[in-house]
Structures are given as C-alpha cells and as structure tokens.
Chains A and B, each alone.
Chain A
Amino acid sequence: MKKSNYSLLFALMMGLLSTLTPLAYAEVAVIVHPSISDELSKKYIARLFLGKEKKFPGGSAAIPLYQVPGTSARKSFDAVILKKSVSQIKGYWSRLVFTGKSVPPKEVDGDSEVLALIAKDPKFIGYVDAGSADSSVKVLLKF
C-alpha cells in the first residue's frame, strides 16, 4: 500500500479504537483520613454518597464531601461511581431534603478544599483528581 494509505488506515484505526474505549474522564482518587483502615467497594462508596450508608464498614461516622458541579473530579465521580447526571443527583437529594429526612450533602469548591478537610477529620470521605492526592490523606481507590 502507499504511505498515505497507511497513514489513513492508522488514523482510521485510532479513531475506531477511541470509540471503543470509555469517554476519557480524569483519573480520580477517593480519599479519607490516614487513620481510616476500612476498605470500601465502589458500590459502598456510591451508597455513602447517596446517604444510604452513614458509617464506614468499621463503624465510624462517614460524611461524604461532594465537589461543586463542573470540576473534572466531580464529572468523573458522578459518571463512574454514582452513574447519574448532576440533575438526577439534585432530584434525588431534593426528595430527601424537602421531606425532612436529610440535609443536602456538603459541597466544596475543589481539590484543595477536599484535601484540607479530610486531612484534619477522619469522618469525611471525598474525591480529588488523582494527581492532587498527597501524603496528608489516604487513597482508598482510584478509577
């Protein structure tokens, strides 16, 4: 085949491969205070963030920290762990908030705020861009 045809074929293959892999979300780390020794599945993390579980498996209190809509970590977390859109998540919480069953979950502005809160307090659980996680927190899992 001619060189230009190889290039074209290569481009087509790359194009095809990119449609087969999932949409590229930023790599995200779910983090907790270093003193937490529990291991959590993705399903359990989703349940914590939807208020269906309120404790770590070991029994200590667990309060989820959401990031405000729009951050890259939030987009990844909503799509991969919660599998809901921002609108659906708001609808879900409004059913709990406006019936006196719950208060809305805590929302913070971005990675640095999440890190600051978690480093100080073992009852929080949050998520940040994988690259932002430092030694002040413990990474439970990455996705």
Chain B
Amino acid sequence: MKHFALKPCLTACLFCCSANAFADITWSGFANIIGGKSPGGESLYGYDDGFSFNEDSLLGLQASSSLGDGLGMTVQVISRGSDDWEPLFEWAIISYDINEDWRVLFGRQRTPANMFSDFVDVGFAYPWIQPPRGMYSPSFDSYDGIGSIYNFSLGDTDNTFHVLFGRSFDNPFGDVVDNIDIKDYAIAAWSIEWEWLTFRLSYNVSELEVDFPTVDGLADALAAGDAGLPDVDLTQLAEDMKMDGDSRSTASVGVKVQKDQLFFVAEYSDSDDGDNFLGDSSAWYTTLGWSFDEVMVYAIYGENEEEANIDIFEQLPTLNGASYIVSSGADNVYGTDDDGLDFVTPATAYAVMASRNSETSYYSLGLRWSFHDSASINFEYTEESDDLNQADDNSVLRVGISAAF
C-alpha cells in the first residue's frame, strides 16, 4: 500500500492547529495525460494493441503552508490511472528551515536516487514523456523518514547535498510478493552545478526483506529435502536465495548539459543486491535533445543488466562426477527420495535463480512541443529489445500532455 492512514490525520491536525494556515496555503498541481499503444501487439510498459490512457496518466495536487518560524508543511496527493485514479498521499512532510540554505524534512518524501527522481511524476519538469523507465521505475521512489537538503556555493558553482534516512513498505508486486520492507534506507546525493553543466553522485544502502512465496517456498523445500543428499547441507543455499535482511547498496553518477539549444544527460547506476534472489544489476542511459523555439526533438538510448546470483551453487559438491545443478531426468538420484517422492532439486532452484539473468536495451525517439506557457505535448516512440534471449522487440507509441500550475 502506498499510503498511510496516519498521514491524513497528521495533515488534518496540523492544518487545524494553526489558525493562520488556511490563509497561507499555496496550491500547486500537475497533470500528465498520456495515451499509448503497442503497435504490432508486442506490449511494453503495460500497453497493448489497443489505445489506452490508464498506464501512465496521473494528476497531482500539492498544498504547502508556512507555519511560521521556519516551519512549513507540504502534502502532495497523486491519482494514477493505473490505480483506478485513487488519490494517495505521496508526500506528507513537515519542513523546518534551519537557515535559508538548510532545510530538514520529516515524513514521506522522495528519494534523490537519480537526477530526475525528486520530480519523477511531474511530466512538465523534464522534456520526455517520462524519465527512462530502465532507470526510473515508477516504484520505490518515496520513503518515510528524515531528510536534509543543504545548498552551498563553491566558487562559481551551486551545490546541493541531500541526505535521507527512512523506510519503505511500498509493494508494487502485490500479486506475486506478499510483503516488501526496505529498512534502514540511507542515501546521500551531491550535485554540483556550474552555469550549463550539472554533475551528480549518489550512494545508498538499505536492508531488504521480501516475502516472495515462489522463491521462499523453493528455498524451504530445498533445505528440507536434503533427506536424499546426506552429505550435502542445503540450508546455506536456501538462506542465500531468500531476501531476508540482505544488505543492498547502489551507486549512481550522472551528468547534464543544458546550453542554449542543447540538452544532454548521461546516467549510470550500479546495484549490489547481496546474496539473494535479486542478484546484482546495473543500468545506464543517455539522451540528446535539440530545441527549435518551442519544439525539442530528442533521442534516448539505454541498457539494463541483471546478473543472477548463481555463484551460490558453486558451494555444492558433485556426486560421482555429476553436478547437482544438472538434472538427468528420472535417473537423477537426487530428484527422488527413497519413497519415490519428488522433492526440489538444486537443478530446479538453479533454473529459477538463473532466470534473473537479463540484458535489455531500449531506445526512444520523441518530440516535445511547448505549445502553452503551462502545458506541453509529447510524441514518443520507445522500443526495447531482449539482448539475452533474442525474443521479439517490445515497443510502444505514446502521446502525452503535461501541465503544471
């Protein structure tokens, strides 16, 4: 679930407690109305061969209030087409300005993982329809905790140092995963801006707990089924598959150039997900755009790699020269116990773990027309290909209007 019942109560209480608050509320909002279709039926990002508006469209409303003495409150509610337009609190923070360069935030807030993470939902704020999906997933972008944003100058450069410490229970995979708990999430991000050039670094660590019945069940069966494998202890292997309290770290680096008509960004991110089902992953993309008055044409290219955590199987010995991870059918003595009952073999576990291996690349070509002071329209075509399995390419053609007030 993305929202907490606590937050609306907190919001209501604070607004009521401050008699001046109602006179001092600043309303702002944004909308992305995006429609798309996967031509040829090879669906991408949830679209199919019929034109649909529900996947990426959203409306956001934000209320900000100054409570005096450096204290402020901001709440942001977003309704997404993909959630049946149910309004949810994405942001609910109390901010305190230690001085005009240093703000501390308490509550639910966005993580500054990458260059466009802070405002990933505000289509109007960047030139594409969305930040590249390979690096910016629609989930895990908000954490409940404490943040600090500090601005400072170094010579001719403007710098921001943003840290956040928090927790997330966000579970976008509710149909296959019972529970996600990202604990002790800590991130530090530093960006340095000189005229038209911005450079950015971020690093985060967290502890991950995921209740994933398919993987957990497989791991438990593997550990329990060593009745037929008296010399082999599979409990360590089983533990290595599960995501229960594993440490995870991600490093990101990015550069942006925005000079006259030129727009260029490149970002790279590398995650070490620990010894578990997730394995390690890395992603990068680059984009180039050129403006002609109110029109910008742009291209994006990116690659993603997920590396299955199959090194853990190397701890298994072989028996009579046969590897545990290769199933040789009915004759594989490690596939049945003495009563002829099948139990999970390391080969099955290996196949599930190895399925995490993935290499994809994608490109987008698009155009943005800022036809109005407060609104723009995008036309964007994206194609993603599976470089590992050589399956058919998936593609989507999207058109979107983004506005902000």
Question: Residues on A close to B: CB < 8 A?
Answer: 52, 54-55, 61, 69, 85-87, 90-91, 94-95, 97-101, 103-104
**Closest beta carbon of chain A to B99's beta carbon, Å:** 9
Please report which residues of chain B, range 351-405, place their CB below 8 angstroms from some CB of chain A when the two chains form the complex. Answer: 370, 372-374, 376, 404
The yes or no answer to B86 lying at the interface (CB within 8 A) is: no
Cβ–Cβ contact A100 & B91, under 8 A: yes
Per-position binary interface string of chain B over residues 213-224, scored 1 when its CB falls under 8 Å from any chain A CB and 0 otherwise: 000000000000
Given A61-B100, A98-B62, 18 other A-B residues pairs in contact with their CB atoms under 8 A: A54-B100, A87-B372, A87-B373, A91-B124, A91-B125, A94-B28, A94-B30, A94-B122, A95-B122, A98-B76, A98-B118, A99-B118, A100-B93, A100-B105, A101-B103, A103-B64, A103-B66, A104-B26
Enumerate chain A residues within 8 angstroms of B60, measured Cβ to Cβ. 98
The yes or no answer to B337 lying at the interface (CB within 8 A) is: no
**Closest beta carbon of chain B to A89's beta carbon, Å:** 9
Q: A52-B158, A91-B125 are in contact. Are A98 and B373 (CB under 8 A)?
A: no
The yes or no answer to B281 lying at the interface (CB within 8 A) is: no
Give A97 to B28 CA distance when docked, in angstroms.
Answer: 8
Enumerate chain A residues within 8 angstroms of B30, measured Cβ to Cβ. 94, 98
Please report which residues of chain B, range 71-91, place their CB below 8 angstroms from some CB of chain A when the two chains form the complex. Answer: 74, 76, 91
What is the interface of chain B mostly: helix, strand, loop, or mixed? Answer: strand
Cβ–Cβ contact B124 & A94, under 8 A: yes
The yes or no answer to B110 lying at the interface (CB within 8 A) is: yes
**Closest beta carbon of chain B to A105's beta carbon, Å:** 11
The one of A54, A85, A86, A95 that contacts B118, using a Cβ cutoff of 8 Å = A95
Ordered by A's residue number, 13 sampled pairs between the chains whose C-beta atoms are within 8 Å are: A61-B100, A87-B376, A90-B124, A94-B119, A94-B124, A98-B30, A98-B62, A98-B76, A98-B119, A99-B110, A100-B105, A101-B103, A103-B26
Enumerate chain B residues within 8 angstroms of A99, measured Cβ to Cβ. 110, 118-119
Per-position binary interface string of chain B over residues 99-127, scored 1 when its CB falls under 8 Å from any chain A CB and 0 otherwise: 01101010001100000001101101100
Enumerate chain A residues within 8 angstroms of B331, measured Cβ to Cβ. none
Enumerate chain A residues within 8 angstroms of B373, measured Cβ to Cβ. 69, 86-87, 90
Q: Please give me the residue from chain A that is nearest to B127 by CB atom.
A: A91
The 3 closest A-B pairs by CB, nearest first: A99-B118, A86-B373, A54-B100
The yes or no answer to B231 lying at the interface (CB within 8 A) is: no
Q: Please give me the residue from chain A that is nearest to B118 by CB atom.
A: A99
The one of B109, B119, B376 that contacts A95, using a Cβ cutoff of 8 Å = B119
The yes or no answer to B175 lying at the interface (CB within 8 A) is: no
**Which among B110, B294, B404 has the greatest number of chain A C-beta atoms within 10 A?**
B404
Enumerate chain A residues within 8 angstroms of B118, measured Cβ to Cβ. 95, 98-99
Give A54 to B119 CA distance when docked, in angstroms.
Answer: 23
**Closest beta carbon of chain A to B258's beta carbon, Å:** 10
Enumerate chain B residues within 8 angstroms of A94, measured Cβ to Cβ. 28, 30, 119, 122, 124-125, 404
The yes or no answer to B252 lying at the interface (CB within 8 A) is: no
The yes or no answer to B95 lying at the interface (CB within 8 A) is: yes
**Which among B93, B149, B374 has the greatest number of chain A C-beta atoms within 10 A?**
B374
Give A54 to B153 CA distance when docked, in angstroms.
Answer: 13
Cβ–Cβ contact B100 & A55, under 8 A: yes
Per-position binary interface string of chain B over residues 21-64, scored 1 when its CB falls under 8 Å from any chain A CB and 0 otherwise: 00000101010000000000000000000000000000010101
Q: Please give me the residue from chain B that is nearest to A47 by CB atom.
A: B158
**Closest beta carbon of chain A to B232's beta carbon, Å:** 52
Give A19 to B348 CA distance when docked, in angstroms.
Answer: 75
Q: Please give me the residue from chain B that is nearest to A83 by CB atom.
A: B260
Give A103 to B294 CA distance when docked, in angstroms.
Answer: 26
The one of B26, B76, B100, B374 that contacts A90, using a Cβ cutoff of 8 Å = B374
Per-position binary interface string of chain B over residues 192-230, scored 1 when its CB falls under 8 Å from any chain A CB and 0 otherwise: 000000000000000000000000000000000000000
Please report which residues of chain B, range 140-160, place their CB below 8 angstroms from some CB of chain A when the two chains form the complex. Answer: 149, 158
Q: A91-B124, A94-B122 are in contact. Are A100 and B374 (CB under 8 A)?
A: no
Q: Please give me the residue from chain A that is nearest to B60 by CB atom.
A: A98
**Closest beta carbon of chain A to B262's beta carbon, Å:** 14
Enumerate chain B residues within 8 angstroms of A52, measured Cβ to Cβ. 158
Per-position binary interface string of chain B over residues 320-361, scored 1 when its CB falls under 8 Å from any chain A CB and 0 otherwise: 000000000000000000000000000000000000000000
Give A97 to B404 CA distance when docked, in angstroms.
Answer: 11
Enumerate chain B residues within 8 angstroms of A87, measured Cβ to Cβ. 294, 370, 372-374, 376
